[in-house]
Structure 1
């Protein structure tokens, strides 16, 4: 009896550890492989070029940057509406979509290069190409003083230099955890089920724990989204930031639903198979314990 209890306790510990690692492993794998793939990142961000909230945020940011370069005075006030309208018009063109993809690819490559190399320079993106396109659009529309708009290299910091060392350490940890945490979760689950005195119950517990882990992962994504949007500066559009967050975490939300569905499906099938087995056992008649009379000797 003590051996059976020890096996049951050890199996429970292994299964609990496995279920705890499931959401952590999914999160680490998403961060290590999903966010660091440049092609996948650009494809994920591409549809946002047509999002009205993102277009509005870019129009406001670029428009204000151009007006700051023009300076203050009558020209600034007179050109303000034309500049904003021109930038908004530009965000609805195919040229903007191409520039959006190029900017995202360049920014992503720059961030990865900074994380993988010992370069302490801040990671920046240059808005000059967008400003030049807007200036060209204003000139074609015969907006007064459009030719006087200076096109300067306006670099926006994506990753400050002070944060690079900390981010590199986190990136190195993610590269290891993104592979080993899912592997450890599967290995612990297999060991827990194999060690269990009742493997059917162990499989059911593992499946339910996986479902709970998937649900917790989905809740965590939603909570972080709400906290992130609440902490944004007033000049940043919450709708635009929410659209970007949703695009980046789409794979994570899909993984959450897959874990929840897989866990509940396996637990349900295990319960149905066990119930069917009990019914078959109950329908088989028990053997008659009365011995048959011996045949008379001749």
Structure 2
């Protein structure tokens, strides 16, 4: 093959590799990170101490109590008084260990239910629901252990909550299968394209530098996508979710879930720049270092000629 053809083929392969990197990392994060229940619960656990999340939970609980009172009595001063009392009580509860334990149990229950629905192809057309009675029973036991008055008398009812409607579950199930395939093949394709592009290049050192720069640019693009995705996610919350979770709380949840993705994006930037800089320095100063280290009178092989640049 002519040097011009080898350079063009190498450039195409390296571009494909650099494009596969920022696509393969999110796919792997979604397919292997978000689907691990232990990692998901560990990522969500610190949010139990986040003020925005605790206030959002307390407000949602107060609204639920207020709506229940409004169904029993006419709306008026009593409803507002009960709502304020429930809000104060809920905010006090969110600062206890029982809330943290219930938070972890609820996240584990919801994650298991969603994961089973995504992996079960026979669940088409069915909504994803969870029964929070085991979570309430666990919180009740913890309150009793903390000697909270009348904790043993708290009734535990089966509360079925719809996590995902049927149409949303079907759409996510199809996307999950695509991510499961892409999470494996995109990283493999990136490595194969990069290695092949460097191997066929007329100037391999220059190809390595280009691959490093492209990897760093891909990591920077991924980091920018995470930032833009946060703004879009918080701004485009559905009305049903926005009524229960405010912007700061939703942003805290998004940051907790994408922490690994942000770390991976910056690692790609550092790795790519390191490889590119090392390759550039080796090409620029490697020949001079070999000449300095050679004994006096020893002939030093001249630097290999650069391949001719293709004329446009």
Of 244, 247, 254, which aligns to 2:253? Answer: 244
Cα deviation, residue 47, structure 1: 0.3
CA distance in structure 1 between the partners assigned to 2:170 and 2:270 by the alignment = 39
Report how many residues are paired: 277
Of 98, 101, 105, which aligns to 2:104? Answer: 101
Q: How does 1:245-264 map to 2 (within 5 A)?
A: 245-264=254-273
Q: Does 1:55 align with 2:50?
A: no
Identify the residue that residue 290 of structure 1 maps to in structure 2.
none
Q: Does 1:181 align with 2:189?
A: no
TM-score by length of 1: 0.85
CA distance in structure 2 between the partners assigned to 1:24 and 1:176 by the alignment = 12
TM-score by length of 2: 0.81
CA distance in structure 2 between the partners assigned to 1:22 and 1:57 by the alignment = 37
Does the 8 Å contact 2:65/2:83 carry over to 1? no
Cα deviation, residue 281, structure 1: 6.3
Q: Deviations over 1:232-285 (max 9, x none)?
A: 345331100000000000000000000000000111111111122232466678
Identify the residue that residue 95 of structure 2 maps to in structure 1.
92
Unaligned runs of 5+ in 1: 288-298
Unaligned runs of 5+ in 2: 300-312
Cα deviation, residue 156, structure 1: 3.4
CA distance in structure 2 between the partners assigned to 1:77 and 1:213 by the alignment = 53
Q: How does 1:1-298 map to 2 (within 5 A)?
A: 3-70=2-69, 71=71, 72-73=73-74, 75-117=78-120, 118-119=122-123, 120-126=125-131, 153-232=158-237, 233=239, 235=243, 236-280=245-289
Does the 8 Å contact 2:62/2:84 carry over to 1? no
Q: Deviations over 1:117-167 (max 9, x none)?
A: 12243123445655985xx89xx679xxxx9x9875444322111222221
- SS in structure 2 at match of 1:5: helix
CA distance in structure 2 between the partners assigned to 1:103 and 1:182 by the alignment = 34
CA distance in structure 1 between the partners assigned to 2:214 and 2:221 by the alignment = 10
Does the 8 Å contact 1:103/1:125 carry over to 2? no
Does the 8 Å contact 2:234/2:250 carry over to 1? yes
**Structure 1 vs Structure 2 CA RMSD:** 2.5
CA distance in structure 2 between the partners assigned to 1:281 and 1:197 by the alignment = 23
Does the 8 Å contact 1:211/1:263 carry over to 2? yes
CA distance in structure 2 between the partners assigned to 1:123 and 1:77 by the alignment = 34
CA distance in structure 2 between the partners assigned to 1:130 and 1:47 by the alignment = 20
